[in-house]
Amino acid sequence: MIEQKMDADWLVFHPSPKTPDFRLPEGAVDAHCHVFGPSPEFPYAPERKYTPCNAGRDKLFALRDHLGFSRNVIVQATCHGKDNSAMVDACQAAGELARGVASVGAGISVGELEDMHRAGVRGVRFNFVKRLVDETPKDAFLGIADRIQQFGWSIVVYFEAADLEGLEPFLRQLPGTVVVDHMGRPDVTKGVDHADFERFIRLMTENENIWTKVTCPERLTITGPPYDDVAPYCRAIVDRFEDRVLWGTDWPHPNMKSHMPDDGALVDYIPRIALTAERQRKLLVDNPMRLYWA
Ligand code: 0GY
């Protein structure tokens, strides 16, 4: 078995996150998190753009319990390429307490999709972030999008704000529910009224099948914790689209180079972006349960 050495500039996840002051509602879902390896058992993909620290399922489940979540949606990370075995193994181990989102190639068969469905997978991820993946032709993604419809799966899309304009026709074409990671990664120095963020709001307004994750203030921030510069963006989205938003920790926080967030502090950020108990319940329970457990 291969032990793969992590990148020298890699920050390891927070070793002892605080107990959150914010009490999560009963049945809350961490709807964006990953597992990395551990690499002796689940080697990283040869085509990966980074080699992370090992962060296996047991550590994820311990974090879930510590923070007060009931369930996880485990999103395939690019360091594992299209080998979904670490994510599928974590879903199987968690049973009804986890769902998965896979990365698959155009050649995926219906039988393979069936096996993943049985294991708890309920979506695929299309990644357009150039520092993370080599380009996949849009036709390949459209073929996959068609094939997963019979399983009722949704699609997670990850892209940078600068690429939204070019991707819009493709996004508008996708069938079923489409979830955009991290609000399409807005440039938070520009302001919530900037045309770029308005473009994203318009996309969601005009396409009721498009949802988003109001996640990753630690990734989008310029000013750092407690992420005052990102909160208005999350709030603007939750205010407008309370039935189409998800939240997650993004543990174990791939590619964080500036600082490593305390996951307990991230949970304490939730009431700053979802201001009422009803909105918090929709964000953390009703919406993810409807999308991934129905
Ligand atoms: C995220 C963000 C990142 C990485 C990945 O799959 C991944 O490698 O998702 C990132 O580097 O921005 O959503 O976890």
Closest among 273, 275, 227, 263 to 68, alpha carbons compared: 263
Residue 215 CA: nearest ligand 1 atom is 13
Closest among 28, 20, 23 to 284, alpha carbons compared: 28
Which segments of 148-256 are extended strands (E)? Answer: 154-158, 178-180, 210-213, 245-246
Residue 219 CA: nearest ligand 1 atom is 12
Nearest residue CA, atom 3 of ligand 1?
254
Please state, in angstroms and rounded to a whole number, the distance separating the CA atoms of residues 185 and 200.
10
Q: Is 250 a catalytic residue?
A: yes
Substitution candidate for ligand 1 out of 9, 32, 34 with most atoms within 8 A of CB: 34
Please state, in angstroms and rounded to a whole number, the distance separating the CA atoms of residues 234 and 129.
21
Residue 47 in tokens: 């085509």
The greatest distance separating any two alpha carbons of the chain, rounded to the nearest whole angstrom, comes to: 52
Residue type, 90: A
List of the chain residues with pLDDT < 70: 1
Identify the H or E element spanning 122.
strand 121-127
From ligand 1's centre to the CA of 75, what distance in Å?
Answer: 9
Nearest residue CA, atom 8 of ligand 1?
78
- For tokens 């974090």, the residue is 63
Residue 245 three-state SS = strand
Residue 91 in tokens: 């879903």
From ligand 1's centre to the CA of 77, what distance in Å?
Answer: 6
Residues touching ligand 1 (Cβ under 6 Å) are: 77-79, 132, 181, 219, 250, 254-255
pLDDT of residue 122: 98
pLDDT of residue 1: 65
Substitution candidate for ligand 1 out of 33, 82, 129, 250 with most atoms within 8 A of CB: 129
Q: Are 29 and 73 in contact (CB under 8 A)?
A: yes
